[in-house]
Chain A
Amino acid sequence: MGKRWKGLTIGAVAAMMLFQVGCGNGNSNGNGNGNAAGKNDSPAQTASGGGGKKVKLKFWDFHTEKEEEFFKGLVDEYNKTHDNVEIEYSTFNQADYTTTKLPTAFASGDGPDIYMISPGDFMKFAKSGLMADLNPYFPEGAKEDFLPASLDAVTVDGKVMALPFELELLGLYYNQDMLSNAGVEVPKTWDELYTAAKKLTTDKVAGLILPPDKGPYFNFIWYPFLWQQGGNVLNAEGTESTFNSPETAKALDFWGRFFREGISPTKLQQGPWEIDHLGKKTAAMQIVGTWAINRAEEVFGDVPINVAPLPLPDGGTAATDAGGWKFAVNAKSENADEAAKFIMWAFAEDPQRALEWCTQVKFAYSPRKSVVEQGKDIYSKGMRKVFTEQIYDSAIPEPRYPSEVLDVVGDAMQQVMFGKTDGTQAAKDADGKINEALKKINK
């Protein structure tokens, strides 16, 4: 009797599994993905490329909402106008995208053909042959349209490994009313920043919002404090650490002070990149980027938010960080060719698309001079004007350090923030570790 039971169970389970496999395979093979345009026009039309066979490209990124819709729109348009290519667009949660999804997929050879890369992860992928050289694909004259610095940031050994399409600059955002009510002027120097932030800090309001948690964004916001003094993490060739310097110590100490004295919260409920802190009036000042402008205007229009260039130390030069994601093609893909064409079509040809991205979908600067030129009007509206006229020229592209270096710098910052050591000691300790990491990487 028992045996029959057993047989039945196992049989049922096996049947269920087969059923699932059948269902599952149906799903994955049937292009059921609602993202791609998917309309198979008559295969007779072959605009370019092989005889009637469609090239399928996988495009993965992490965008949401308006940004996701923008890219969906691009993909749809491209699919419609290029019959030999079909692009499938999928999005994932940002944090998992870079740490889990991409590495796992690439590790098993299932990586996407088209993807996005940030400066923080750039070297990892560039060194593994996962980025195709885009030099041959630039349309006539397009390459010259790009700011040299933005292309340098993505060039390795003379090869352009990714296409930059946005520059997001940092500025000091503040609540005009809060400052006036406290009799505080917009800070222009480090000392003024400190005194102002301290004065503006109350039980309910933080004087200055800075990112407290380790990560690429954490470093991203801090670098200007180092650069303004002329300091840097690595030497120009990127082969040796220049971290052990008085400039570093000063930058670390200055940064850490805000946290130790309770001016900047050590824990935030919302991301430090969200302008909501100012919008909801829980903070008086915040260092954040150009992306915040649209949200400030649309959601927090009634709060008097304005922006100013980052304050300078005595004798320092203006410097701000320019971040932004880059568009990359998987060099190991069979269809790297077509993938590269798509990328170029999206952001290196008709300036209209780039302009839409940089001015409507979000607010950012384009690394292309023609686009900035075309969008002149937008770039002089409201807070954007401050960026265009006072901040743009001092932008330094976000460095593309290896993750280990990023990690060591982050640790140094945290050690000082939480009072474990002081700037000088932290800089010294980090220096050794950075050199160690560099040695290992360049073995």
Chain B
Amino acid sequence: MSRISARTRNEWITAYSFLLPNIIGLLIFVFIPILYAFYVSLHDWNALSPKVFSGLDNYKVLLKDDLWWASVRKTLLFSVIYVPLLYVLAIISALLMNALRGKVVGPVRTMFLMPFAITSVISAIIGMFMLDPRNGIINHLLGLAGIGHQQFLGSTAQAMPSIIGVILWINIGYNMIIFLSAMKEIPRDYYEAAYIDGAAGWQSFLSITFPLLKETSTFILIVTTIGSFQALDQILVMTKGGPANATEVSVLYVFKQGFELLNMGYASALAFVLFLIIFCLSIIQLKFLSLKK
């Protein structure tokens, strides 16, 4: 066994001391609560009376809970539509921003970011107002264009797309900025070299920009996916899971079980299963994204 050099050991120590505040913080304020939540999932608990141990009962129940699995399907549907859309729109916007020069840059960038400045609850409320079937401005404009009134949030078919639209609106700007920052890191010389070689526009994007954005893309895709499984505020405000459960996604179901029905034990079990689903998805995504080169 080779001796570990002082330099390597120094590296280990520095690394861990750099990580220490976050390790401690995450441990105390996130991980232990998660463990506690798992502990609760093994009980019957309504938050107001003492817990009653019930072992894996909650998990057995959830396997047969049709409403739960329906919510999982809805969540996946939401994700599958939202994440790619956000990714594509954010990248395209970033490309656009990157190509802009001159005085327009500042204002346009600010305009894209503004939706993010409004609280998610307020943006949801604005979205609701604008999408109102009778008095909303969107329908008004559609009417002017000759298209009939839509029900949007009041229709079981349109509610989900409407919510996706609002959440996209909120988040495009911010994710665009992240892509933009990464794009700016790419040295100009790369593009110049490619230009000399005869590549331009779309080709240079494919061969230079896109590959160099891999780390950022990975980040955005994973974080957005994880986030899409947890989008609660907007849905609570806009539809509460309706109409007729059309927008009842998993996290909403967990919240309902936990805080409206006070089935804390069951809600924790559901959350745990949700966590496992997200975890597996993220691993798959990471593997897939690291392979793709």
B159: nearest residue on chain A (CB-CB)? A267
Residues of A close to B46: CB separation below 8 A: 124, 128
- Contact between A206 and B244 (Cβ–Cβ < 8 Å)? no
- Contact between A267 and B259 (Cβ–Cβ < 8 Å)? no
The A66-104 residues at the B interface (CB cut-off 8 A) are 99-100, 103-104
> Do A265 and B154 contact each other (CB < 8 Å), given the known contacts A282-B134, A407-B261?
yes
B236: nearest residue on chain A (CB-CB)? A95
- Contact between A420 and B49 (Cβ–Cβ < 8 Å)? no
How far apart sit A333 and B134, CA to CA, in the bound complex (Å)? 49
- Contact between B259 and A100 (Cβ–Cβ < 8 Å)? yes
Query: Could you tell me the distance in whole angstroms from the C-beta of B33 to the nearest C-beta in chain A?
Result: 13
> Do A267 and B244 contact each other (CB < 8 Å), given the known contacts A103-B259, A130-B48?
no
- Contact between A266 and B47 (Cβ–Cβ < 8 Å)? no
Contacts between the two chains (Cβ within 8 Å), count: 83
Q: Does A125 have its Cβ within 8 Å of any Cβ on chain B? A: yes
- Contact between B242 and A214 (Cβ–Cβ < 8 Å)? yes
Q: Does A215 have its Cβ within 8 Å of any Cβ on chain B? A: yes
Residues of B close to A99: CB separation below 8 A: 259-260
A contacts with B, residue count (CB < 8 A): 36
B238: nearest residue on chain A (CB-CB)? A267
Residues of A close to B154: CB separation below 8 A: 212, 265-267
Residues of B close to A414: CB separation below 8 A: 242-245
Taking residues whose C-beta sits less than 8 angstroms from the other chain, chain B's interface range is: 20 to 34
- Contact between B243 and A212 (Cβ–Cβ < 8 Å)? yes
Residue of B17, B48, B128, B240 touching A125 (CB-CB under 8 A): B48
- Contact between B240 and A214 (Cβ–Cβ < 8 Å)? yes
Residues of B close to A103: CB separation below 8 A: 47-48, 259, 262
Residue of A104, A107, A269, A403 touching B129 (CB-CB under 8 A): A269
- Contact between B260 and A213 (Cβ–Cβ < 8 Å)? no
Residue of B48, B129, B132, B243 touching A128 (CB-CB under 8 A): B48
The A245-287 residues at the B interface (CB cut-off 8 A) are 265-269, 282
Query: Could you tell me the distance in whole angstroms from the C-beta of B91 to the nearest C-beta in chain A?
Result: 33
Query: Could you tell me the distance in whole angstroms from the C-beta of A127 to the nearest C-beta in chain B?
Result: 7
The B125-144 residues at the A interface (CB cut-off 8 A) are 128-129, 131-135
How far apart sit A407 and B21, CA to CA, in the bound complex (Å)? 44
How far apart sit A282 and B135, CA to CA, in the bound complex (Å)? 9
Residues of B close to A268: CB separation below 8 A: 132
Q: Does A129 have its Cβ within 8 Å of any Cβ on chain B? A: yes
Q: Does A417 have its Cβ within 8 Å of any Cβ on chain B? A: yes
Q: Does B153 have its Cβ within 8 Å of any Cβ on chain A? A: yes
Residue of A267, A403, A411, A415 touching B262 (CB-CB under 8 A): A403
> Do A128 and B244 contact each other (CB < 8 Å), given the known contacts A99-B260, A267-B152, A282-B134?
no
Query: Could you tell me the distance in whole angstroms from the C-beta of A432 to the nearest C-beta in chain B?
Result: 12
Q: Does B282 have its Cβ within 8 Å of any Cβ on chain A? A: no
How far apart sit A149 and B8, CA to CA, in the bound complex (Å)? 79
- Contact between B242 and A213 (Cβ–Cβ < 8 Å)? yes
How far apart sit A35 and B244, CA to CA, in the bound complex (Å)? 42
- Contact between B48 and A411 (Cβ–Cβ < 8 Å)? no
Residue of A129, A212, A214 touching B49 (CB-CB under 8 A): A129
Query: Could you tell me the distance in whole angstroms from the C-beta of B199 to the nearest C-beta in chain A?
Result: 42
How far apart sit A317 and B14, CA to CA, in the bound complex (Å)? 80
Residues of A close to B134: CB separation below 8 A: 203-204, 206, 265, 282
How far apart sit A212 and B155, CA to CA, in the bound complex (Å)? 11
Residues of B close to A282: CB separation below 8 A: 134-135
Q: Does A393 have its Cβ within 8 Å of any Cβ on chain B? A: no
Interface 1/0s, chain B 254-277, versus A by CB < 8 A? Answer: 001001111010000000000000
A104: nearest residue on chain B (CB-CB)? B47
Query: Could you tell me the distance in whole angstroms from the C-beta of A401 to the nearest C-beta in chain B?
Result: 12
The 13 sampled A-B contact pairs (Cβ below 8 Å) are: A6-B17, A99-B259, A103-B262, A124-B262, A128-B46, A129-B49, A214-B241, A266-B151, A266-B243, A267-B131, A403-B262, A404-B261, A418-B156
Known: A99-B259, A269-B128. 14 other contacts (CB 8 A): A104-B47, A106-B48, A124-B48, A124-B262, A125-B48, A129-B48, A130-B48, A213-B239, A265-B154, A269-B129, A403-B260, A407-B256, A417-B243, A418-B243
